[in-house]
Amino acid sequence: MEWNILIHDEEHYIEVVTSGVVDGDGTIDMAKAIAQTMMSHRATKALIDHRNVADVIGGTAATYTRPKIFRFMGVTLRIKIAELIKPEDEGHFKFFESVCISQGYRLSVFQDKDKALAWLLS
């Protein structure tokens, strides 16, 4: 899994564009990079664009424990995350969204960038 992080200082958010295969290890490494970037730029919002990924690999158990791992890494509940996805990945990411919300994270999944940004920046 690869990613590129863009900083939007005026709007106080970061944008992450991913590619390759979304998997457990890659997701954790990306979350570390996002947390560090958000802390160093004092950003509390992130737009994560997964529309360029080739595949999403991950089971139910791994998805369910992911928010706990994020919290351990220092990803706080104060942040707000909008995830952009392809229609064929909706099942995986909607489950992840439900898990995150149930554990206190403000995360929402979108297929339209304008709607994602409107929600994120509101």
Using CA atoms, how far residue 25 sits from 3, 13, 30, 87, 113, in Å, is: 13, 24, 9, 23, 26
**What pLDDT sits at residue 73?**
61
Q: Report the CATH superfamily, name and number, of domain 2-121.
A: STAS domain (3.30.750.24)
Instruction: Supply 34's token pair.
Output: 């996002």
> pLDDT tier at 66 (50, 70, 90 boundaries)?
confident
Residue-wise pLDDT for 20-56, tens only, equals 998 878 888 898 899 899 989 999 999 999 999 999 9
Q: What is the pLDDT of residue 122?
A: 96
Backbone angles phi, psi at 66, to 5 degrees: -55, -45
The pLDDT value recorded for residue 75 is 66
**DSSP class of 109:** E
**For residue range 72-104, what is the model confidence (pLDDT) as tens digits?**
666 676 889 999 999 999 999 999 999 999 988
- What percent of the chain is helix, strand and coil (3-state, nearest 5)? 45, 30, 25
**Mean local confidence (pLDDT), 12-23:** 94
Long-range contacts of 101-104 (CB under 8 A, 24+ apart): 103/67, 103/68, 103/71, 104/77
For residue 67, pLDDT over 80 is answered with no
Cα distance between residue 25 and residue 42, in whole Å? 25
Say what the pLDDT of residue 64 is.
78
Domain residue spans of the chain:
2-121
- For residue 121, pLDDT beyond 80: yes
Q: If phi over 0 gives left and psi between -120 and 50 gives alpha, with beta otherwise, what is residue 11? A: alpha
φ/ψ (deg, to 5) at 103: -105, 15
Q: What is the pLDDT of residue 26?
A: 86
